[in-house]
Amino acid sequence: MKQLLLVFIGGGAGSSLRYLLAKWLNPSTDGFPYGTLTTNIIGSLLIGFILGWALKTNSLSTNSTLILATGFCGGFTTFSAFAYENHLFLKNGDFFNFIIYTLLSLILGFSAVFIGIWISKIY
């Protein structure tokens, strides 16, 4: 039960921060979803760093990993918004932004995880 509560608290904090960042970067619903892209890249970097650090130093407890990686990063990043925004691009015939958004999300997301792990190794 304690572990579920830790994931709940971390997820709530991550979701709240994602909401604020999306409101700031996406002032209207028209246009490119910079907020979702930014949160997913930052979240990928963070989870790479957190899990890389946990493996390297063995200093993060299971509870710390649950609240930070599973909870916070899980709540902060959002695959469902990414999928929905791509649906809107396709629905509107905006194939250019669909391709750019998908490629940026995948390439930058994977790269951010690897960079996060790399950063954890050098510190």
Q: Around 100, how many Cα atoms within 13 Å sit in the side-chain half-sphere?
A: 9
Domain ranges of the chain: 2-122
Q: Give the length of the chain.
A: 123
93 is in an annotated binding site: no
36 is in an annotated binding site: no
Q: Of 12-16, 27-31, 88-92, which gets the smallest average pLDDT?
A: 27-31
pLDDT reported for residue 123: 85
Helix/strand/coil percentages in the chain, nearest 5: 85, 0, 15
Q: In this structure, is the dihedral angle defined by the CA atoms of residues 103, 72, 74 and 15, taken in order, positive or negative?
A: negative
pLDDT in tens, 58-114: 989 999 999 999 999 999 999 999 999 999 999 999 999 999 999 999 999 999 999
pLDDT reported for residue 28: 76
pLDDT reported for residue 54: 94
**Whole-model pTM above 0.85?**
yes
Q: Averaged over 9-35, what is the pLDDT?
A: 92
Token digits for 38?
A: 């930014």
Band (pLDDT 50/70/90 cuts) for residue 120 is very high
Q: Averaged over 25-53, what is the pLDDT?
A: 93
Does the pLDDT at position 30 exceed 80?
Answer: no
